[in-house]
Structure 1
Amino acid sequence: MKKLVSTLLSLIVAASFGTGAVLAAGDSEHSKAPEEQKWSFSGPFGLYDKGQLQRGLKVYVEVCAACHGLDRIAFRNFTELGYSEDQVKTLASEYDVTDGPNEEGEMFERPAILADYFPNPFPNVEAAAYANNGAAPPDLSLIAKARAATRGFPQFVFDIFTMYTEGGPDYLYSLLTGYEEAPHDVEITEGTYYNPYFLSGLSLAMAPPLSDEIVTYDDGAPETVDQYAKDVSAFLMWAAEPKLEQRKSLGFKVLVFILVFCCLLYLSKKSVWSRVDH
């Protein structure tokens, strides 16, 4: 029996180290694992930093929206970032959306309203690919969750209780700040850019999108690539998990209820069986 338990433990430990190695190594010896960052929304009691989310939206609108859509987010959702309804209406009015048909049976353009979803910069995937050397930029609505790494044993056990959410934003931050010159022993396709954090290889068609002072902040935050990357990564986490705070709050209440309920069940059982004559 002891030998069996020892063997199982060895297999579990080996599997856990193996998983970590895969996540760190990626597709090549040059690939890098995302750099872990501190996020205000991490942990079971983490909350979004509304100021950071507003800055992230600004970076998305002024930089990312030129190529990437945000199809699952409506303009009305931006009121959750601390903006007033009038401010969001003003933002929406800067975009045109296709509506119709009108009385003549034709589609027409009109300014967006709160109920409209954020418009995609391209009419379809084919047009997006044609405008970007054959690589259609992905929609960013769920990118923070889509790029979240599943951690191996024993981390995933604790992730259930700590509500681990940092993996996706860590990847986005690392990707946005990870562009560098390709090593001499690495060949990349012409027209692509070397980035060791890219999950699908070592190079991608997207040029480095951020540079210092490319976006002006109104709150005095540093206008650097590092700050831009953190802010837009946090914003995209919110886009993927807009109800994260409510989910964590409900989960904590449920755990407290289960704990109290278990205690009551134990006390009831003890009280009932104490009257049984042994």
Structure 2
Amino acid sequence: MVLLGALLLGPDIAQSAHAQPVKAPVQDWSFKGALGHFDLPSVQRGYAVFAGVCASCHSLSEVRFSDLTDMGLTLEEVGAVAATWQVADGLDAEGRLKHRNARPDDALSSSYSGPEAARAANGGVVPPDLSRIVQVYPGGADRLFALLTGYKPNAVRVPGKGFANSFAIGHYTAMPPPLREGAVKYADNTPATVTQEARDVTTFLAWVSAPHQDTRRRVGIGAGLYLCFLAVLFVILNRRLWSHVRK
């Protein structure tokens, strides 16, 4: 997902004040609304898309592998996932960057050795961290999903503009289509269409932006029910205590 965050937050190629992005259609996200919750199978599939497509350029510096237990993975599964990643581990005797297998307490850091390496590999732009992209990106999850699925079929780069996408500012973006059918193989055998991949990775990034949302909502609902119970109990006791006065 080359330069996703940079191109979402920064100006698109050939930005025009008269070419505002098309309003993204409202999607039916399970995590929206007061009683919403994250679809954990979708979150897990979205992680697969992030790891297989986005992580070559982007990091999730505010997420540690151990946090993935909150999306339904066991500690053993988290350890196995972490072991597939390489993280920086200081410099060797010749001043070159060393790497080691990640551990559960490591963050999902950038694959680049530093900002300069990232800038050199991406046309002068440092791909930003995606830990809060759904919260800070105008239009949120709806527009992110629309952008990922909004490319023309067989999209080609237009010189001086980029790739046509109605949901990008200026209707062009420097980011080539990041997703393709079958880009990842889902463990649950869900067909990996572009639409499915976009929905899952958007759900995953929304979960990353608010990993404790479900817990807060459960606590809030429980507290609300408890307060309702206390209110009813208070009314009953109040009537009994003052019933003789009313008589």
Partner AA of 1:196 in structure 2: S
Corresponding residue of 1:253: 222
Alpha-carbon separation, structure 1, partners of 2:87 and 2:24: 37
Q: Normalized against structure 2, the TM-score is what?
A: 0.77
Alpha-carbon separation, structure 1, partners of 2:113 and 2:26: 36
Once the two structures are superposed, residues 188-225 of structure 1 have per-residue CA deviations (whole angstroms, 9 ceiling, x without a partner) of 76262222212x54322211101111211232212210
Alpha-carbon separation, structure 2, partners of 1:93 and 1:207: 30
Alpha-carbon separation, structure 2, partners of 1:189 and 1:135: 18
Alpha-carbon separation, structure 1, partners of 2:207 and 2:20: 31
Corresponding residue of 1:192: 162
CA 1:107/1:137 → structure 2, altered by over 3 Å: closer, same or farther? closer
Asked whether the 8 Å contact 1:69–1:119 carries over to 2, the reply is yes
Query: Which residue of 94, 111, 115 maps to 2:84?
Result: 94
Query: Is residue 230 from structure 1 mapped to residue 190 from structure 2 by the alignment?
Result: no
Corresponding residue of 2:142: 170
% identical aligned pairs: 33
Asked whether the 8 Å contact 1:95–1:119 carries over to 2, the reply is no
Question: By how many angstroms is 1:102 displaced?
Answer: 9.0
Question: By how many angstroms is 1:93 displaced?
Answer: 1.4
Corresponding residue of 1:212: 181
Query: Which residue of 72, 87, 93 maps to 1:82?
Result: 72
Query: Is residue 142 from structure 1 mapped to residue 132 from structure 2 by the alignment?
Result: yes
RMSD of Structure 2 on Structure 1 (CA): 3.3
CA 1:102/1:63 → structure 2, altered by over 3 Å: closer, same or farther? closer
CA 1:217/1:138 → structure 2, altered by over 3 Å: closer, same or farther? same
Question: By how many angstroms is 1:261 displaced?
Answer: 5.4
Partner AA of 1:68 in structure 2: H
Alpha-carbon separation, structure 1, partners of 2:173 and 2:118: 15
Alpha-carbon separation, structure 2, partners of 1:264 and 1:84: 42
Corresponding residue of 2:113: 123
Moved more, 40-49 or 112-121: 40-49
Equivalenced residue count is 227
Alpha-carbon separation, structure 2, partners of 1:180 and 1:63: 20
Asked whether the 8 Å contact 1:52–1:235 carries over to 2, the reply is yes
Query: Which residue of 64, 76, 79 maps to 2:54?
Result: 64
Alpha-carbon separation, structure 2, partners of 1:214 and 1:102: 35
Once the two structures are superposed, residues 116-169 of structure 1 have per-residue CA deviations (whole angstroms, 9 ceiling, x without a partner) of 1112122333332322122322211111111254xxxxxxxxxxxxxxxxxx22
Question: By how many angstroms is 1:30 displaced?
Answer: 5.3
Corresponding residue of 2:104: 114
Corresponding residue of 1:17: none
- Greater RCO (Cα-Cα under 8 Å, separation 6 or more): 2
CA 1:204/1:137 → structure 2, altered by over 3 Å: closer, same or farther? farther
Alpha-carbon separation, structure 2, partners of 1:204 and 1:85: 40
Question: By how many angstroms is 1:177 displaced?
Answer: 0.3
**Is there any run of 5+ residues in structure 2 with no aligned partner, and where?**
1-15
Q: Normalized against structure 1, the TM-score is what?
A: 0.69
